Structure 1
Amino acid sequence: MKHLFLHVLTGGVVVCSPLYAQNRQPNIVFIMADDLGWNDLGMTGSDYYETPHIDRLASEGAFFDNAYAAANSAPSRACLMTGFYTPRHGVYTVSPSARGDKSKRKLIPIENKEEVRTDFVTLGEALHQQGYVCAHIGKWHLGSDLDGSKTGPLSQGFDYNIAGDRAGSPYSYFYPYCEKGKCHLGLDKGTEGEYLTDRLTDEAIKFVSLQKEKPFFLYMAHHAVHTPLKAPQALIDKYQKKAKGAHHTNPAYAAMVENLDWNVGRLCHALDSLGLSENTLFVFYSDNGGSEPVTDNFSLRGGKGMPYEGGIKVPLILKYPGKIKPGTVVDDLVTGVDFYPTLLTLAGGIPATGLDGENIFNQSYSETSKQRALYWHFPAYLEGYQGMGGAFRATPHSIIRLGDWKLIYYYEDQSMELFCLKEDPMEKNNQAVSQPEKAKELYDKLSRWLKETQADIPTQLNPDYGGRK
């Protein structure tokens, strides 16, 4: 990896002035990329994709070397909005939970929820209570305001919602964003042929330019770089002419990555031009790892939807001028449930007790902070990538990461995989047998967490498994 920044070995973000020195609440801009992999940035090693604006953002703030999505896709967003891991809100996957060949599913999976229940106080609601004007732009994927369910952004604390509905991906990336007469996103007015990532950024710039009286929270949830692989033709042509990388070779995907990067740069420039950057926390994050086979998570094992690092490790950048020292790299373990308490505390609020996340701006800088455990729980099935073999990307499992160690527990056969990520980042050497004490330590801690969160565990045998009737 091509990090050239100051390395921080312990404890959260290095600050270069007292964190709460100013009286004004910070504006918050949170960009959520969709399916952007750990290696999909120039700074993390891509030899084909070009991301100069995101790379610059990292050089101006902090890059988190051990950042994770708390889940995959929709549940990752539910974890962000609630501050809770998946067992507490029940959004485990993109419905249904029984995906793939039913004759190969040994267990009956736990039923999935598609929406964040309205009894949760979402991050949008919590910031709204602190006086923030809250806008959601892009992919919501957790319900809708349009079908009577009242689970979309406007019912969950946001003052504005542009293009946010149940959709997991657009029918098309080009206006009118339709395919074979099917349309969604609610973007009724536009210019023929306009590109979705450009349009959403236009809307974001309009929003921030109007915010003068109150602090704002902009949740900019791009659909890019999720399929369908569509990008402006001029960019695709550029990458078709460019020499292929050793690992990354897809011109359409490369074009989508560059366009996303350009739009991140546009939004940063708009904040600078409006004089808002100095009092704005800017967050760049991805909802899960890179999706194979459209990209290659070459330094990590697996991809989107898998329990391995390629599926859950993601890029995370925080920029906060005057508060975060430029060029910082943070080694601490962080995950998606941490944003809720972090952002609410920065806004002057007091997070409710019982949240699963931690305030990553308020750590002790002690060695014990490195021993924090992260957890995942996925009691469902996810079919394999088409054309890549294997019935499933994921079967029911739970994960714990503690320090350098990671344990995956599989419910179908009660087996375990144990990896020392410091020595084995590609997760090739399963040490569950050779390190039984470490495996037991992590399994016991994982079991206690599952009990504490009242996690639903799949135990019922599937009568259709193996062709049985």
Structure 2
Amino acid sequence: MHNICKVIGVLAICCIIFSCKQKDTTTEGQREAIVSEQPNIVLFMVDDMGWQDTSVPFWTKKTAFNARYNTPNMERLAREGMKFTQAYATSVCSPTRVSLMTGMNAARHRVTNWTLRRDMLQPMEVNHKKLKFPRWNVNGLSPVPDIESTVYATPLPKLLQEAGYYTIHTGKAHFGAIGTPAENPKNIGFDVNIAGHAAGAPESYLGIENFGNGEKGKEVWAVPGLEKYHGKDIFLTEALTKESILAIDSAKVAKKPFFLYMAHYAVHTPLYGDNRFEQKYLDAGLDTKEAKYASMIEGMDKSLGDIMDYLEKNKLAENTVILFMSDNGGLSVHARGGEPNTHNKPLNSGKGSAYEGGIREPMLVKWPNKIKPNTVTDTKVIIEDFYPTILDLAGVENYNTVQEIDGQSFMGVLKGEDVKNNERALFWHYPNEWGPSGPGIGASSTIRKGDWKLIYYHLDSRFELFNIANDIGETTNLVTSEKEKLKALAIELGNYLRSVNAQMPSNKETDQQVPWPDAEIVINQINN
């Protein structure tokens, strides 16, 4: 009799929880228990933030740049969670964001450069003197099929939304070109869109300048949807933070777990001084550009701290995972103060480059009661890994996608398991032209495997080979002394590119496709 009653009781609870057509009689305590099974997830994505743009050292020692910047909340996040010293994205923004939202490597999804205007190659690609670039997916991501020059994929937020999450997009979107569905984050599964659109940079960071709205000829760059702050003395980073917190409040009212994609426009150009922090950097002797940049970094860090404080104050912190990442290496080739291409040292170069300065990112993860505080891992991860990992964190299983997923979940790393994947090959593919000239910048394909990294430049079929463990600054090209390693990596890179049907540019003079890195003509050059 006791067992029968017990079964009846369980069935009664199940009916209350799962019957959505009947009157909701779930108590607040029962509802909170259901929600608590899924953690809240905050993905804090910074734009153009370099590996060294923080007081948190991601190298074996602190550097002068770590001493320059003030990011106490990143320090706090590192103390409370896990630091990844070898985390990677792509060298420019849209490819990273599409990889994040699809789980695909850029070579496969073909959104290999930054997007903006529909059906248009970038002017610097059309006008390149020697290379003719492929018709890449200039229109970005699409959640629906049959839109020209897009990658059709099942977006990450859509799967989270279907799993019961209240999904919030804040800040920079840059997923799809103007006039395509993914221009609006709501079309890829976000319940809320705060200030996201097709453009990848703001016209202004200042509320007193209406974030660029009202400036003739600049409409494409004006930040949308923040009219309540127009005319006010508020920095864009602060306005986005305030709106994000209001959106989390809505999730609480809806009794749903939330996914907050906190995608700041900072620290992308144009460089604007955040007047809450700028003066102290001027007083420290930085030039005006670098003082502005440092103030934008500190404002971004304050946003992180404000969100962490809010979660703690509202008793949400213990059930919230925070992931911190940047979309590409720190800007260094132009628009900065001081010597170009030095702002990410000891890494070489910066944004737009195949060198470590263009692709290695500051990454932190906090997962209360799961991640041991103040831990460090040298496990290599890449941006497409976030897709399966976030779904794992949310408990989403057996999901179906229209695309093939390249990313690998790093859930085991977060749990402290002995994950032996440092011999896993990582790939980058950029058959495009970014614009500026600088070290490692230009059309290229790259493989990182173990300690070794091979870059293949499309313009002249030239290789650079580095041992990153011994030479993090990529100063010594080992192509002549390590020919067997070079050939092995070139073959693996070529096989991978063909396996994902990667695009290659062609030579304008011969109208021939640039050879694959393992083509016979290229390998013969190695042997000679």
Q: Could you say which TM-score interval applies, normalised by the shorter chain?
A: 0.7 to 0.9
Whether the 8 Å contact between 1:30 and 1:220 is mirrored in structure 2 is yes
Query: How many pairs align?
Result: 435
2:435 is aligned with 1:383: yes
Give matches, 1:54-453, under 5 Å.
54-95=74-115, 99-100=123-124, 105-112=129-136, 113-118=138-143, 119-143=152-176, 147=179, 149=181, 151-175=183-207, 176-178=210-212, 180-181=215-216, 182=218, 183-192=222-231, 193-212=233-252, 213-244=255-286, 250-292=290-332, 293=334, 294=336, 296-350=343-397, 351-352=399-400, 354-362=404-412, 365=417, 368-384=420-436, 394-453=441-500
Cα separation, 2, equivalents of 1:284 and 1:367: 21
- Tell me the CA shift for residue 190 of structure 1: 1.5
Cα separation, 1, equivalents of 2:101 and 2:182: 15
Cα separation, 2, equivalents of 1:324 and 1:23: 18
Whether the 8 Å contact between 2:91 and 2:329 is mirrored in structure 1 is no
Q: Deviations over 1:347-399 (max 9, x none)?
A: 111355841111101369557411111100000112216xxxx5x86322110
Whether the 8 Å contact between 1:41 and 1:49 is mirrored in structure 2 is yes
Q: Deviations over 1:56-77 (max 9, x none)?
A: 1111100000001144211110
- Call closer, same or farther: CA 1:280–1:460 in 2, change over 3 Å: same
Q: Deviations over 1:115-167 (max 9, x none)?
A: 202231111111112111111010001127x8464542111011110111011
Which of 10, 18, 40 is matched with 2:53 structurally?
A: 40
Q: Normalising by structure 1, what TM-score?
A: 0.87
Whether the 8 Å contact between 1:300 and 1:425 is mirrored in structure 2 is yes
* Matching residue of 1:16: none
Cα separation, 1, equivalents of 2:197 and 2:327: 17
**Over the residues paired in the alignment, what is the CA RMSD in angstroms?**
2.4
Q: Which amino acid aligns with 1:138?
A: G
- Call closer, same or farther: CA 1:446–1:258 in 2, change over 3 Å: same
Give the match's secondary structure for 1:168. Answer: coil
Between stretches 234-243 and 32-41, larger displacement belongs to: 234-243
Q: Normalising by structure 2, what TM-score?
A: 0.78
Cα separation, 2, equivalents of 1:393 and 1:372: 23
Give the match's secondary structure for 2:251. Answer: coil
Cα separation, 2, equivalents of 1:401 and 1:374: 5
Cα separation, 2, equivalents of 1:163 and 1:121: 22
Cα separation, 2, equivalents of 1:305 and 1:130: 36
Cα separation, 2, equivalents of 1:463 and 1:187: 51
Give the match's secondary structure for 2:324. Answer: strand
Give the match's secondary structure for 2:361. Answer: coil
Give the match's secondary structure for 1:173. Answer: coil
2:42 is aligned with 1:29: yes
Cα separation, 2, equivalents of 1:215 and 1:102: 46
Q: Which amino acid aligns with 2:84?
A: F
Cα separation, 1, equivalents of 2:260 and 2:366: 15
* Matching residue of 1:467: none
Q: Identity of counterpart residues, as a percentage?
A: 39
Between stretches 440-449 and 99-108, larger displacement belongs to: 99-108
- Call closer, same or farther: CA 1:234–1:463 in 2, change over 3 Å: farther
- Call closer, same or farther: CA 1:259–1:242 in 2, change over 3 Å: same
- Tell me the CA shift for residue 104 of structure 1: 5.5
Cα separation, 1, equivalents of 2:237 and 2:488: 45
- Call closer, same or farther: CA 1:367–1:360 in 2, change over 3 Å: closer
Give the match's secondary structure for 2:380. Answer: strand
Q: Which amino acid aligns with 2:130?
A: K
Between stretches 93-102 and 39-48, larger displacement belongs to: 93-102
Q: Which amino acid aligns with 1:167?
A: A
- Tell me the CA shift for residue 87 of structure 1: 2.3
- Tell me the CA shift for residue 101 of structure 1: 8.3
Cα separation, 2, equivalents of 1:307 and 1:368: 25
- Tell me the CA shift for residue 209 of structure 1: 2.2
- Call closer, same or farther: CA 1:209–1:417 in 2, change over 3 Å: same
Gaps of 5+ in 2: 1-34, 58-62, 144-151, 338-342, 512-528
Cα separation, 2, equivalents of 1:57 and 1:201: 17
Q: Which amino acid aligns with 1:190?
A: Y
